[in-house]
Amino acid sequence: MRVDGLKFSIAAHSAWAPGLATAEAWSAWAQAPTRIGEGADPVVAAMPPMLRRRAGFLGKMALDVAYRCLDGRTNVPAVFCSRHGEVSRAVDLLGELARGEPMSPTGFGLAVHNASAGLFSIARTDRANHMALSAGAATVEHGVVEACGLLTDGAPMVLLVAYDCALPAALAHFEDCDEQPHAWAWLMTAPGADAISLACDGGAGEVAASTRPGGLDVLHFQLSGAPRLVRHAGPQRWTWTRNG
């Protein structure tokens, strides 16, 4: 895969993780990143309680940052991207099947990859286009590719939501990085003076020293003001650069 010439600007952004609920906390984390542990659920105060109760910890993180980033805007297409999604719910469903128990229809409906995007759309009665994707270690980058495609097609702005948690214990041995709970959202627009560029090639050589998940590496790039980030995902080398 090769990607050249993707450029965009960020009109608004938000982020949430346990212990990191304010812009000031994230600014301090960007200057001296520490490992993020488990914690209480975000409030998601803007969402009706009946729907909010259906979301689990991962979904509430995604919903919280999506609400705050859009700040009341409607008819904005959205790209929800999560490498693992609601895999904990899926493991619970498989356990029910293994025990010969009836599988919960509600549990199944909330385990699909677009569950958070669907809840967000329903709660806001907003019929704007939304999609959910997973693309391994390059999930965030592919989310940006999709969002830039929507901008090119004429959308004035696109909401990008990136969110993930650690894998459940039954799948923990598949982890290839230090997974940590986090969620962030960008309101992406056509590139301006402060544009960010994203490119991909099959090159080798530069290897990021970070063991963080991709979503946190990209968030750190954004918040820290670093001029460049290079990430490897299998044979792909993704290069983020800041134009402003």
What is the tens place of the pLDDT at every residue in 39-76? Answer: 889 999 999 999 999 999 999 999 999 999 999 999 99
Distance CA 63, CA 55 (A): 9
Domains contained in the chain, CATH given? 10-190 (3.40.47.10)
Question: What region, left, alpha or beta, does residue 136 occupy, with left being phi > 0 and alpha being psi -120 to 50 degrees?
Answer: left
Q: What pLDDT digit, counting tens, does each position of 9-37 carry? A: 999 999 999 999 999 999 999 999 999 99
| Residue among 225, 167, 213, 222 nearest 8 (CA) | 222
On whether the CB atoms of residues 226 and 30 are closer than 8 A, the answer is no
Tell me what the mean pLDDT of segment 218-233 comes to: 95
- Residue 209's pLDDT is 57
Neighbours of 204 (CB within 10 A): 9
What is the model's pTM?
Answer: 0.93
Per-residue pLDDT band for 79 (boundaries 50, 70, 90) equals: very high
Residue 72 CB neighbours (<10 A): 7
- Residue 16's φ and ψ, nearest 5 degrees, are -150, 140
